[in-house]
Amino acid sequence: MDASWTNPAHVLDVAVRGISAPRPEMLPRFSQELGAVLPHRAAAMQTGDCPRSPFKVTGDTSITGAVTSAELDHLAERAIPGEAVVLDGVLAGTERRLILLTSRPAIGNGAVIALVPSDAEPSVAVLGLAARLWHLTSTDAGQRAVDPGPDVLASNLAAAAARAQTVTDLGQTHAATLVALLAVLRSGRLGDAAARQTATDLAARALLELRAVADRDQALSAESARAAFGVLADQLSPVVGHADVAVDLVAPTDDRQLRQDIAHTARTVTRGLVIAALDRPGTTRIRASWRLDGAALRITVRDDAPDIPDVVLDPGLTERITPLGGSWEVDAVPGWGATITAALPLDTVETPELRPLDRLNAREVEVLSGISQGLRNRQIAAQLQLSEHTVKFHVRNLLEKLEVSSRGEAAALARDLRLDPVAVHRTA
């Protein structure tokens, strides 16, 4: 091993460069850094944390151009999480010497990487170092997948929809071909029974592989609602385990599949709301629940803090749900606590170009209608049967969404856009 790799500072520098790489460059960067101590011709990776592009390759194109995700699936069954496994396996259609690195971090679904070494079998020390570097890199990747940025979420929506359509079309095409092949081979018109039997067996296995593609795609791009909530509970355990507050986590009763971007965002939002509730003075109990209601996942976090200040949601959480078409509802009542609900649509929808008023949810439109009629927060609260704190929250949000700085500007914009004053009526 190069002497520099025995220097902790050098190894840490390598690790920092690896985890600093943008997600699309993670595998090439890892391969490049690792190549200095473990030379290899190619690397192929399959991850459970990226619904947009779970399969990636880098290196010698004569190898990477023929690698399939099915091969990596078979290899993953022989890998040992946290260790470097040297074995003979099929990659790019050829049996060859391989090094498998697999990680199962606490956060995320982990990944498997197959390396095609270019030199003699590396030492035990080098293999151990490679396994630890991969564990660090994939742990960071899992964390980034759990808390994806708004730009990543927005691009993932279109990519996931296109990918699902492609998989469906590909599956239908191959299934029709293989079923026709089986029908011909089973017709009895061929004289060579042995050949017919062999071909039948091959086609039957191909059909099984094809069905596995759909199962694998489902596993990589979605997770069940209860399993997703279970991951959330594990993530919150160290946060609430020693708090002087009773935290009740209520899993969804509906166990439908959630897209990974929805599951990741739901966990991020729930964690943020629970942590914010823990910070409110006087809180003794928090209830966090998920509920699949028709075409939306509803996240509700309720606390019993007696003295409710203005409830200010972390702007970062709003940025998480906006690309997914999500919305907030807040009800904060002094002496009773705060209830915050986020709704995330379950289906991918095309996002139309937004007009100013389209940025507001139904409650914010009602509050804006009251503002346009000259009502004060107290009057709007009375008409809509909300607390004044909740109205303040909606006013603050709608001013930000409309990109205006005052109630007067918001009222003028509402009049210019001809907002119908139907939600709130001035009392006599």
Instruction: Name residues whose C-beta falls within 8 Å of residue 8's C-beta, 6 or more positions apart in sequence.
Output: none
DSSP code of residue 334 = T
Question: What's the pLDDT score for residue 16?
Answer: 79
**DSSP codes of every residue in 305-336:** -SS-------HHHHHHHGGGT-EEEEEEETTT
Q: Which residue has the tokens 């039957």?
A: 204
What secondary structure does DSSP assign to 96-131, as a single string? EEEEEEEE--SSS--EEEEEEESSSPPPHHHHHHHH
The order of strands in the sheet holding 84-91 is: 55-59, 40-47, 111-117, 94-103, 84-91
Q: In this structure, what token pair is assigned to residue 248?
A: 């009740």
* Closest to 34 in 3D by CA, of 11, 56, 66, 50: 11
Letter for the amino acid at 394? H
pLDDT in tens, 339-396: 889 999 887 544 444 566 667 777 888 888 888 888 999 999 888 888 888 888 888 8
**Count of other CB atoms within 10 angstroms of residue 222:** 20
pLDDT of residue 170: 53
From 299, 280, 303, select the one nearest 291 (Cα to Cα): 299
Residue holding tokens 């929805």? Answer: 262
Retrieve residue 144's tokens: 């980034």
What would the pLDDT profile of 19-29 be if each residue is shown by its tens digit? 777 767 888 88
Q: Which residue ranges in the chain fall short of pLDDT 70?
A: 1-3, 23, 48-54, 104-110, 140-221, 308-313, 348-358, 417-428
Q: In whole angstroms, what is the distance from residue 269 CA to residue 283 CA?
A: 19
For residue 106 the two structure tokens come to 């606490």
Q: What are phi and psi of 32, to 5 degrees?
A: -65, -45
Contact 366, 329 (CB under 8 A): no
pLDDT score of 309:
58
Strand partners, 94: 91
Q: In angstroms, rounded to a whole number, what is the distance separating the alpha carbons of residues 101 and 84? A: 5
Write the CA distances from 67 to 90, 251, 334, 399, integer angstroms: 9, 40, 61, 52
Residue 423: the pLDDT is: 43
Instruction: Report if pTM > 0.95.
Output: no
Amino acid 298: pLDDT: 93
Residue 296 tokens read as 């939306």
Per-residue tokens: 383: 């008409």
pLDDT at 109: 58
Model pLDDT, residue 292: 92
**14/321 Cα distance (integer angstroms):** 34
